[in-house]
Amino acid sequence: MEDTRILSYVPLSSPADVKLRIPRTKEAAKFVQESRAAVVRILNGEDADHKLCIVGPCSVHDPAAVLEYCEMLTKAVSVWGTHLRVLVRLYFQKPRTTGGWTGYLDDPGLNATFDARQGILECRALMRDVTNLGLGICTEFVGTTVEPQYLSDFVTVACIGARTTESQVHRQLASGLSCPVGFKNGSDGSTKVCLDAMEFCSKPQGFVGVDPSGTPAAVKTSGNSDTFVILRGSYKNGSNIHKAGELCKEGHAVVVDCAHGNSGKTLAGQARAFREAMGYLDCIKGIMLESFLVEGTQKVAAVRGMSITDPCLGMQDTLILLEEFENAAAGRILRKKLK
């Protein structure tokens, strides 16, 4: 007997059909291409006058609130964000250790109905709307090699998380993505796993996936060398921001995640990790912050604009840190010119 534990199979529209339904305009395509190129220039050191800033909710659960957040972020950064390349976190899937809500793409109803058909459509629609604001998107690919076919054309930067950095499937996926990819350090804080992942995905790979029509296919890739380390610390061993200097000396592009293990999952910890990261401003390529409209976290979606997963900074505190980041980046450039 087969499929004894499968409750149902629900057919999905092909990636090509979904893209026809929610298209990417020529203007949006040009923006994504330029945004990716700008990030690559920061990562490889060609652009030393800008820093990367990835900021936004721990996870998407309310697209309307996320779009409002993006509108506020875009407006604020346009005033003083001269030296920052700001991307918004749009994380649609959540890795889980023992169980829980696995993200808006899989379960947009937040109620274990798992309507992935609707989730894919709503995620793509939000990505379209955010891109039309002129804001680049960073997302984490958690699932299989299938989901990126629906979404990746809107992505400026992709991330592979601590739980999946060691996964061969995700390393193979990264080798074929058209955007830069950040690999987080392992759950224990080790950076060897993300360095191994970066080396692996820089080489041509082959794996089983689907093509844009949704047809199963043997996929061959050319490899992806536009990769970087994301230092996110460890819940057991604490912050590993101190590793930034050594990694930079070894020639690796480094972005510091101010949340997760580096913050101890606290809001005060994020601000503390941010200021520790500023001590490595001369070498790191950027930072990540978890932020939403309203400070904190909640178990159910009762307060609009508040995270339902990890605690997030509120908008006001976020903008204070971003402006501090901008001023630090500007001051660094001025010091270089005065030397």
Q: Rounded to whole angstroms, how far apart are CA atoms 213 and 13?
A: 9
- 62 domain residue, yes or no: yes
Contact call for residues 177 and 149 (beta carbons, < 8 A): no
- 5 domain residue, yes or no: no
Asked if residue 338 has pLDDT above 80, the reply is no
pLDDT grade for 333, boundaries at 50, 70 and 90: confident
Q: What tens digit of pLDDT does each residue of 99-137 get? A: 899 999 999 999 999 999 999 999 999 999 999 999 999
Determine the structural domain holding residue 252 and report its residue range.
16-330
- 6 domain residue, yes or no: no
- 213 domain residue, yes or no: yes
Residue 151, phi then psi, degrees to nearest 5: -125, -25
Q: What tens digit of pLDDT does each residue of 281-329 get? A: 999 999 999 999 999 999 999 999 999 999 999 999 999 999 999 999 9
Structural domains of the chain, count: 1
What is the model's pLDDT at position 320?
A: 96
Contact call for residues 242 and 181 (beta carbons, < 8 A): no
Our measurement of the distance from residue 284's CA atom to the centroid of its chain's CA atoms, rounded to an integer in Å, reads: 17
**At which residue do the structure tokens 């990694």 appear?**
247
- DSSP element (H, E) containing 289: strand 286-290
- 338 domain residue, yes or no: no
- 336 domain residue, yes or no: no
Compute the half-sphere exposure of residue 81: CA atoms within 13 Å on the CB side of its CA: 18
Residue 228 forms beta bridges with which residues? 182
- Give the number of other CB atoms < 10 A from CB of residue 26: 8
What is the model's pLDDT at position 251?
A: 97
- 290 domain residue, yes or no: yes
Q: What tens digit of pLDDT does each residue of 146-185 get? A: 999 999 999 999 999 999 999 999 999 999 999 999 999 9
- 265 domain residue, yes or no: yes
Strands 206-210 and 216-220: antiparallel
Q: Rounded to whole angstroms, how far apart are CA atoms 96 and 10?
A: 23
Which CATH number does the domain housing residue 297 bear? 3.20.20.70
